[in-house]
Chain A
Amino acid sequence: MAIIINLDVMLAVRKMKSNELAEHIGITEQNLSILKTGKARAVRLTTLDAICKALDCQPGDLLAYQPDPPE
């Protein structure tokens, strides 16, 4: 998928651990791991809203679009 989740970067910037964020936004660590490792197929707006609130950032700080290079 061409959508990149820059969650690790924001967590480092805000000096927050993954488990702290997971507890803060009310999802399991496994689900957060799915997001961090790029395995997520969809993100609920409510989850995105909760992450942005917890990390005090914009959705654009978390999401990036990197298309695959043409063959």
Chain B
Amino acid sequence: MADNSMHHIKRVSRKYILLFNALLVVVPVAGLFYWALFNRLPVELHSDLPVMPSRDLTIIQLVLGALVSLLPIGVIIYGLVTLKGLFRLYADGIIFANENVKYFRQLGYTFIAWAIAATLFTPLISMVVSFTNPVGQRELVVGFELIDIFTLIIAGIVLIIAWVMNEGRKLEDEQAHTV
């Protein structure tokens, strides 16, 4: 590969590693602050929840909410760690090694995990937010949305790319051992 292209890939990859490192801190901290300050935040910030809280949440609800949020946050962190590993390889000039393929596969599985986490998050968080409501006003929301289907499609695409990359790796290995 031309030196210029490789140098460019390494430089850009190092910048992305900084971004991933920042997100690895920001995402869990933001999650923690969201639940810690839940009752003080504007109602608009809760619009993504499947159930809108009708009153301030109790301490137990806030703790359970934070724990349930670990599902999607955990998947995000796993994805960021995977991306960081992949871009670390790019920053070191390693493009078609076994490890690259492994990280691409992990990325594909991350998307699958995200679809599962999102599907589980919805009913769990709806129960947490509404379980102190009067009887008859407690809600259990179950859903599998179009975005989750798209996420699974993207997962499939990424796994196919990993497969193709593995073939690329074999070709490069063959090339490296051709004199």
A interface list, Cβ under 8 A from B: 27, 31-32, 34-35, 39-44, 47
Contact = CB atoms under 8 A, between A and B. Distances in A.
A2 B147 CA distance: 54
A42 B176 CA distance: 10
A44 B177 contact: no
Contacts of A31: 179
A39 B176 CA distance: 10
Interface string B25-54: 000000000000000000000000000000
Contact of B177 (A32, A39, A47): A39
Interface in B145-179: 174, 177-179
A35 B179 CA distance: 7
22 contacts: A27-B179, A31-B179, A32-B179, A34-B177, A34-B179, A35-B179, A39-B177, A40-B177, A40-B178, A40-B179, A41-B174, A41-B177, A41-B178, A42-B174, A42-B177, A42-B178, A42-B179, A43-B178, A43-B179, A44-B178, A44-B179, A47-B179
Contacts of B177: 34, 39-42
A68 to B, nearest CB: 20
Closest 10 CB pairs of A and B: A41-B177, A42-B178, A35-B179, A31-B179, A40-B179, A47-B179, A43-B179, A40-B177, A41-B174, A34-B179
A54 to B, nearest CB: 14
A47 B174 CA distance: 16
Interface hub of B174, B177, B179 (most chain A Cβ within 10 A): B179
Contacts of A39: 177
A15 B177 CA distance: 26
A7 to B, nearest CB: 10
Contacts of A35: 179
